[in-house]
Amino acid sequence: MKKIHSAFVTSIDEARLSERRVLRSALAPRRVLVTGGAGFLGSHLCERLLSQGREVLCLDNLLTGRLSNIEHLTSDPKFTFVRQDVASPVAAEVDEIYNLACPASPRHYQADPIQTMKTNVLGALNLLELARQRGIKIFQASTSEVYGDPHVHPQPESYWGNVNPFGPRSCYDEGKRCAETLFFDFHAKHDVEIKIARIFNTYGPRMRPDDGRVVSNFIVQALQNEDITIYGDGSQTRSFCFVDDLIDGFLKLMASGRSLASPVNLGNPVEFTVLELAEQIIDLTGSRSKIVLHPLPVDDPRQRRPDISLAARELDWAPKVSLSDGLKQTIRYFDGLLTQQAHEHAETA
């Protein structure tokens, strides 16, 4: 009798989840959970969702996120901030989930690799369980780092990657790969509707000046007329996507149908060498900085460029902002930030 009763209860639960999905599919999501919402990408996503009339629950432990990124949103009655770590169970009455929680720059995710892995794996488990219980759609911010130092160029979603499982970047690379696995397992076992974006180098206002990423490093150094440090000989390539374009991709991916359960590359396919980036930033800032070379870090990829054919075909998405235009906006942001910091330092001196 116990087995019959258990099966009966399970069938009722599944029927209720199915009913919820049907009801939600007919309505725009009202309340959206954004984890990592006080971070660089998360704050832009919260802002965009609010502009669409959504209610936003922003969850962040402020390890790398900053309250200053979301201060301008706190006066909106549809915005709520909660300080919490996604490695702990999350309970929330929401209709949709965007999981952006995790330090994304090597400097920050390598500072506590065990915590980084917990954020990726336990965070994914906790949020997937919430999505399963509520019968709602969930988005995972994955990364181009799942491709490691690629042997295939450009990188399509079908490429399995070339990743060191126990190097200094593994806590992030393998953590994101594990999170993707969990997402697909919940999709297969519990029919959770999943969306996975593999994000390539993104830049724009609200990047941290101390995150150690190439765009922020070069701009801050150029604005202060300091030497611009290039790791390696500068011939390694990257593709740079402006944040507004990326958020467009997030929203289009989340709005796509259930049939699109594959990871989707989101990034700019136009490729630049790191040296070309440095030279362009020096030119745009009118800096007196000189370029100096340092040894290449362990496991730093030589090439990184997305194949965005899937996003173009299924989402009608492609980046629109040129590197030059995006850099100008980012330079203005950092110039204002550095000026503000200089004033604050002078006042306290």
Residues tagged active-site: 172
Q: CA of 318: how far to CAs of 53, 330, 342, in Å?
A: 25, 20, 38
Separation of alpha carbons 129 and 117, rounded Å = 18
Question: Which residue is associated with the tokens 């929203």?
Answer: 251
Tokens coding 77: 């009655």
Strand pairing class (79-83; 96-99)? unpaired
Strand partners, 60: 83
How many other C-beta atoms can be found within 10 angstroms of the C-beta atom of residue 141?
26
Contact 269, 230 (CB under 8 A): no
54 CA to centre of own chain: 20
| Preceding peptide of 29 cis, ω within 30° | no
How long, in residues, is the chain?
349
Query: Phi and psi of 151, rounded to 5°?
Result: -95, -10
Which residue type occupies 29?
P
276 CA to centre of own chain: 25
